[in-house]
Amino acid sequence: MPTLIDFRRRIRSVKNTQKITRAMKLVSAAKLRRAQERVFSARPYAGQMLEVLRSLARRAEVRRHPLLAVRPEEKVLLLLLSGDKGLCGPFNTNVIRLAERFLEARRNGFEPQLITIGKKGRDFFRRRRQALAAEHINLFVRAVEYRQAKEIASQVIDLYTRQETDAVYLIYNEFKSILAQRLITEKLLPIEGILPTRVEGGAAVPGKEAYERPPTQPAAPVGEAPTGEVDYIYEQPPAELFDRLLPRHVEVQVYRALLESAAAEQAARMTAMDAATGNAEEMIERLTLEMNKARQAQITRELIEIVSGAAAL
Amino acid sequence: MLPTALELQIVTPERLLVREEVHELQVPGRDGYMGILPGHAPLLSELQMGELSYRKGNHWSYLTVFWGFVEVLPHRVIVLAETGERGEEIDVERAQAARQRAEERLKRIGDPEVDLARAQVALQRALIRLQVAAKAGGPGALAPGRLPEEPTHVP
């Protein structure tokens, strides 16, 4: 039978934990707001980029560009976006598990290559003794910058144009709403029809209606009246323009995925920490109840002792 | 009938800079500055770094843009800049400091540690920023006496 002092100690310890989880929740809520803003403000660029690319592809002879070249998919490269830190519910586990399944399915005589972003993914695959083509960590410590996406994209483009890989896939958590992240498997290269194809990688985590934000649209091009198929005036050969635009497009895709993942991570952490705070609350209530029972039992016992002591006299 | 206004959108990967109806604009195209009026023939060009200005009614606004693309259609213009900022947002002190740093580096020509091309680009950037800030006349803009010299645009 634990004594009163034991209960008090446990309650205090749970309260301290609760303080931490509550603080973490608040911090990630603030970070989430910023991350969310960045996701939204990056959308116009991605949308307009597509618009311009499509517009150009419609008008100009799209010559065979190395980034559009489709080869039989033998050597596959996977870009995995995980987080740097834990304590965010199933965020990392889910995405890593999906990546693992993906790699398993693609083992076809050629070992699939892997580039990890975030410490969690790297650590997991290192323990598995999986060779990593490259790793990027600490991207999410501060706000993701475009230059980081550029670096990753150029690495991937380089591997692709040197024909060391035949297809590049992205796996990441998409920020769907505060309570739901969606796992996305997306083909990055070869660029298909100037639109990445999307494969739904996992069911969305159902969230409470009340918290649900309006569904996020995949960077849709702004509705436009048909512009007429007149040719452009070019300041330089269209092929050269295409050469510049396509890598930029890949950068933007990577950048967008990074932002999505960053926002999804904060959302997952916020939800996880909210649940943890709730659990702590529940535990405190239960312990308090038991402590009161124990105290009453003790008082009763003392009373009986006094009464029976008096009766014996 | 030709349109009388242009729908201008300037975006960077980080954010939407401008979304406005304008009547005239100037962009730093690859081969020099281009003036664009409503009804312009479709055009697609790369941008270099420079000053982008647009007129709405009688009011001119100034921005910096550093690389990217511009697509012109008769009724709208999309600018995809790699980075850019509105004139009012420019941190003049920072640009001054960057300019000094770059100039000092350029004085040490021949020093193997100095990346000449990079220093030149840095100087250019700083000068463009200062020029745009001065024109935008935002808080902290240069006093008229301290106007920086016209930057020469990279060939």
User: pLDDT digits over A99-153, tens only?
Assistant: 999 998 888 778 889 999 999 999 999 998 888 888 898 888 888 888 899 999 9
Residue A311 has pLDDT above 60, yes or no: yes
Mean pLDDT for A203-224 is 39
Residue A31 has pLDDT above 90, yes or no: yes
- Could A251 and B31 be called an inter-chain contact, meaning their C-beta atoms sit closer than 8 Å? no
Q: Predicted ipTM?
A: 0.71
In CATH terms, is domain B6-87 a member of 3.40.50.1820?
A: no
* Confidence band of A229 (pLDDT split at 50, 70, 90): low
Mean pLDDT of chain B: 83
Mean pLDDT of chain A: 83
Residue A56 has pLDDT above 50, yes or no: yes
Residue A220 has pLDDT above 50, yes or no: no
- Could A56 and B13 be called an inter-chain contact, meaning their C-beta atoms sit closer than 8 Å? no
pLDDT tens column, B101-146:
888 888 877 777 777 888 888 888 899 998 888 888 754 444 443 4
pLDDT tens column, B22-64:
999 999 988 889 999 999 988 888 998 899 999 998 888 999 9
Residue A223 has pLDDT above 60, yes or no: no
Q: Using CB atoms within 10 A of its CB, is residue A163 exposed (0-12), middle (13-18) or buried (19+)?
A: exposed
Neighboring chain B residues of A146 at a CB cutoff of 8 Å: 13-14, 82-83
pLDDT tens column, A273-294:
999 999 999 999 999 999 999 9
Q: Using CB atoms within 10 A of its CB, is residue B58 exposed (0-12), middle (13-18) or buried (19+)?
A: exposed
**Tokens coding B91:** 């941190």
* Confidence band of A312 (pLDDT split at 50, 70, 90): confident
pLDDT of residue B146: 42
* Confidence band of A227 (pLDDT split at 50, 70, 90): very low
- Could A52 and B45 be called an inter-chain contact, meaning their C-beta atoms sit closer than 8 Å? no
- Could A241 and B42 be called an inter-chain contact, meaning their C-beta atoms sit closer than 8 Å? no
* Same fold yes or no, B6-87 and B90-144: no
pLDDT tens column, A159-168:
999 988 999 9
Neighboring chain B residues of A231 at a CB cutoff of 8 Å: 42
Contact A173, A261 (CB under 8 A): yes
pLDDT tens column, B68-80:
999 998 888 999 9
- The alpha carbon of residue A132 is apart from the nearest alpha carbon of chain B, in Å, by 28
Query: For residue B68, what are the β-bridge partners?
Result: B47, B81
Among the options A76, A88, A103, A263, which is catalytic? Answer: A88
**Tokens coding A62:** 């799209």
- The alpha carbon of residue A119 is apart from the nearest alpha carbon of chain B, in Å, by 24
User: Which of A35-44, A51-60, A112-121 has the least mean pLDDT?
Assistant: A51-60
Neighboring chain A residues of B45 at a CB cutoff of 8 Å: 234-236, 241
Neighboring chain A residues of B42 at a CB cutoff of 8 Å: 59, 227, 230-233
**Tokens coding A290:** 């038991």
Neighboring chain A residues of B73 at a CB cutoff of 8 Å: 227
Q: Give the residue extent of every domain in chain B.
A: 6-87, 90-144
pLDDT tens column, B80-100:
998 888 888 888 888 889 998
Residue A271 has pLDDT above 70, yes or no: yes
pLDDT tens column, A176-197:
888 888 998 988 888 875 643 4
Q: What are the Cα distances from residue B139, in Å, to A93, A267, B53, B89, B149?
A: 49, 37, 18, 9, 20
Residue A169 has pLDDT above 90, yes or no: yes
A4 catalytic, yes or no?
no
In CATH terms, is domain B90-144 a member of 3.40.50.720?
A: no
pLDDT of residue A179: 86
How large is the C-alpha radius of gyration of chain A?
27
Name the residue among A85, A102, A216, A108 with its Cα closest to residue A170: A102
Alpha helices for chain A (secondary structure H): 4-59, 91-105, 119-127, 146-161, 238-312
Q: Which amino acid is at A224?
A: E
The answer to whether B2 faces chain A, any CB pair under 8 Å, is no
Select the residue of A146, A230, A236 nearest B13 (Cβ to Cβ): A146
CB within 8 Å of chain A, chain B residues 83-142: 83
Closest A-chain CA to B31? A235
pLDDT of residue A54: 80
Mutate to test the interface with B, among A36, A48, A256 (most CBs of B within 10 A): A48
* Confidence band of B153 (pLDDT split at 50, 70, 90): low
Residue A204 has pLDDT above 70, yes or no: no
- Could A49 and B16 be called an inter-chain contact, meaning their C-beta atoms sit closer than 8 Å? no
Half-sphere exposure of residue A107, counting CA atoms within 13 Å on the CB side?
6
